[in-house]
Amino acid sequence: MRMPIYFLLLFTFLTANFITAQEIKTLTYFENDTIKLDLDLYLPLKKSDKKIPLVIFAHGGGFSGGDRFGEKNFAISLAQNGIAVASISYTLYMKDKDFGCSATLLEKIKTIQIGVNDMWQATSYLIKTQKVYNIDVSKIFITGISAGAEIAFHAVFWDYEIMNLYSDNLPTNFKYAGLIGGSGAIMNVDFIDAKNAIPMLLSHGSEDTTVPYATGSHRSCPADSMGFLTLSGSYSVYNRMTSLKKNIELITSCGGGHEFCGYLFGKEPDYVLDFINNVIAKRKFESHITIPSAKKSEGLSQYSFCN
């Protein structure tokens, strides 16, 4: 029996409004004479006297594109589970420029530095407004996809005193509660040590040619190119964290490429929720999950767990 058109339209309207019903505040977290940066803050509809955790999310796009609206469903799913999410805009310094092998190394470092400082500014703003939004500043998680994950890694592990561009930024001794990264990397895995390591949930494709899965060249640039930059991806970070006996979870797409960067945020937000709950509960964990990729290349991988 076919549903009458009136009831079909009514069902569609109610379903759409149920899915999108969410308290979202658009806030300007940084502004000067040349730039205005906003964030969308997703807050749980169910209010509580108890302070709530916060996830700060940076989108992907190679520092030249993308926007803060792309993972809206991910943010809503966490907010519906009592976790606030701030999805930030940040400076797209490489817009209309080449962030690949023709870019200079200094330009690449400057690009990441500007994005990191935007993240620090967003974090500072949310710490200062913690009482307004009932945020637990001891439970602020940092997360991102691709370029956003590179921002997250360096925001956590770069030397703050050296790389900070602003005088009024993060409070002394602030530390993120955990890091969630989709196909991200850090310039030097040795930046991570026993003192500054924080719990991590990472995902990455083993055949990523944009951001290396282990330690390799950014964008697969040859060593004699201007844009040659060595990065340590999720697998190298995983090995570093396990050697330090720190909490780490890695999900590897065997044969997967850079398209896997959004896996945690688009397909498996429950992994993120479980990770956050485990960190808050101070549980110990270490795991490496491997999943096959539909694009798995023929032949043997250099990683034995993918063969």
CA distance 241 to 115: 24
> What average pLDDT does this structure show over 5-22?
49
Residue 17: per-residue pLDDT: 43
**Strand 178-182 relative to strand 135-145: parallel, antiparallel, unpaired?**
parallel
Residue 127: per-residue pLDDT: 97
Residue 103: per-residue pLDDT: 93
- Note the pLDDT tens digit of each residue in 27-75: 999 999 889 999 999 999 988 889 999 999 999 999 999 999 989 999 9
- Note the pLDDT tens digit of each residue in 72-118: 999 999 999 999 999 999 999 999 998 999 999 999 999 999 999 99
Displacement of CA 148 from its chain's centroid (Å): 5
Report the mean per-residue pLDDT for the chain.
91
pTM, 2 dp: 0.91
- Note the pLDDT tens digit of each residue in 250-287: 999 999 999 999 999 998 999 999 999 999 999 999 99
Residue 172: per-residue pLDDT: 86
DSSP, residue by residue, 278-297? HHHTT---EEEEEEE-TTPP
Burial of 33-60, coded b for 16+ CB within 10 Å and e otherwise, reads eeeebbbbbbbbeeeeeebbbbbbbbbb
Residue 19: per-residue pLDDT: 46
Give the pLDDT band (50/70/90) at residue 299: low
- Note the pLDDT tens digit of each residue in 156-212: 999 999 999 987 788 888 999 999 999 999 999 999 999 999 999 999 999 999 999
Whether the pLDDT of residue 154 is over 90: the answer is yes
What are the boundaries of each domain within the chain?
Answer: 20-306
In the CATH scheme, what is the homologous superfamily, with its name and number, of domain 20-306? Alpha/Beta hydrolase fold, catalytic domain (3.40.50.1820)
